[in-house]
Structure 1
């Protein structure tokens, strides 16, 4: 059994305003295994992005503990190591790109870690190759598409050799082609490099490709399981304002009309197979 890469124990967190406190995480205990690809779903305000920011110590819990492997994020002298183990990619790649040449941008993180120049050269080329952007290493980031910029942002995190990458809605600002590029890159890194992936997304088709899904509502995980297990809960998900993949939705509506289909259909191919089986 693989060990925990990330875990939280009874975590509480509030955002403080001038005259009140809003509880955003309410006694959250979750664990994510080494090498796992986990998606966190939830409507706006559910706590999913706040939880993600706890995973690499951008935020610290009011109560409870967050561990990155064996390191507690509350220990100030561990923050440096925590952020080397768990890298973070945000929604807008323009906010993460700091240089005017792609390869210089990817080198920025390792340079700040004090990595020797010859090792930086190797890391930059490896990271850009991993995200299929090596041919663009001498380009200006401003000339790239949204999907390409996000892949450069991922390469910048990869060059720091993290064990885990947390991505907070990295495809939210991209067109369908850019979204496919980024998700394909994430899956490749998980499968080929065994990098633990935590993906926050609003897109159910992206979530369907994960090993496991955690659904957040009002600061709590309310459903956990494989995509098939989670998306079978169509009515519960709709109650908290979430959709399901299109084929799951179609299957749900057809079953309501009396068509005998499986509950856990996720893809077009599975829907075609089921319909052919009915003939």
Structure 2
């Protein structure tokens, strides 16, 4: 379907355990469609398959069985790989691993230069991308002197300069402090809201999922739950059974309900909690 950015059809992925030559199933017959313009969050504990899924979208991994289609292109066809990687950019956990130059604007220009984009267009892409992530004023700075959140925003700008239609964030806030995480999540939400960019965010931080259009919960290579943040997080027992937390306000509502207080089970934010508590007076 043309309105899907990503289609995963019966995708399984096995990798060999080198020690005993057994095979582990990292993805187990998953079917996931990601419509264009969606902000999708993937949640799951370590080893759930979420990062393996992310790497399939960018053709860094190829399914053992099944098909991953990115904007109509099958990742199994080697001729599609570079086109797919231009369409689906990736931002990883450690920004230092994605920064290659000594000046911010040179770093952002690196990708388009490798694509053979002409210099006047590169200049425009660099400026536009840095403005998009609110780092234009730092274009002459050395990346290693920036904060973690600023470095990650430069890494995002470098991805944006390649003109992708979708960006996959593979635990891109995991190494950042709360301020840096907030900066990056604000940038991600702005890209989705203002540029209609398809966003796939893989995270351990439940609060980052509140603003998503949809959440997919993975465990042991399978999709075990999906829906809006409200629908997914109110299933507190399911989340706890697989070793995941829920946002603080969801947890508080859950505990209050267990104590016999008649309060909504799908509260997500502090404002909603305040309103609900005031209603109880």
TM-score in terms of structure 2 length: 0.98
**Which residue matches 2:24?**
22
Work out the CA distance in 2 between the residues paired with 1:17 and 1:244: 32
Indicate the residue corresponding to 1:9 in structure 2: 9
Residue in structure 2 matched with residue 121 of structure 1 by the alignment? 123
1:36 match: 38
Gaps of at least 5 residues in structure 2 are none
Mapping for residues 172-191 of structure 1, pairs under 5 Å: 172-191=174-193
User: Over aligned residue pairs, what C-alpha RMSD do you find?
Assistant: 0.9
* Other structure's SS at 1:276 match: helix
Cα distance in 2 for residues equivalent to 1:192 and 1:230: 26
After TM superposition, the runs of 4+ consecutive aligned structure 1 residues lying more than 4 A away are none
Alignment of 1:102-251 (within 5 A): 102-251=104-253
Indicate if the aligned counterparts of 2:88 and 2:165 stay in contact, CA closer than 8 A: yes
Q: Distance in 1 between matches of 2:58 and 2:175?
A: 23
TM-score normalised by structure 1 residue count = 0.99
Select which of 65, 68, 73 maps to 2:67: 65
Q: CA deviation at 1:2?
A: 7.8
DSSP-derived class of the 2:125 partner: helix
Number of residue pairs the alignment of both structures matches: 279
How far apart, CA to CA, are the structure 2 residues paired with 1:116 and 1:15? Answer: 41
Report how far residue 51 of structure 1 moved. 0.2
Distance in 2 of aligned mates of 1:46 and 1:17:
16
CA drift at 1:145: 0.1
1:80 is displaced (CA, Å) by 1.1
User: 1:17 deviation in Å?
Assistant: 2.3
Deviation (angstroms), 1:16: 1.2
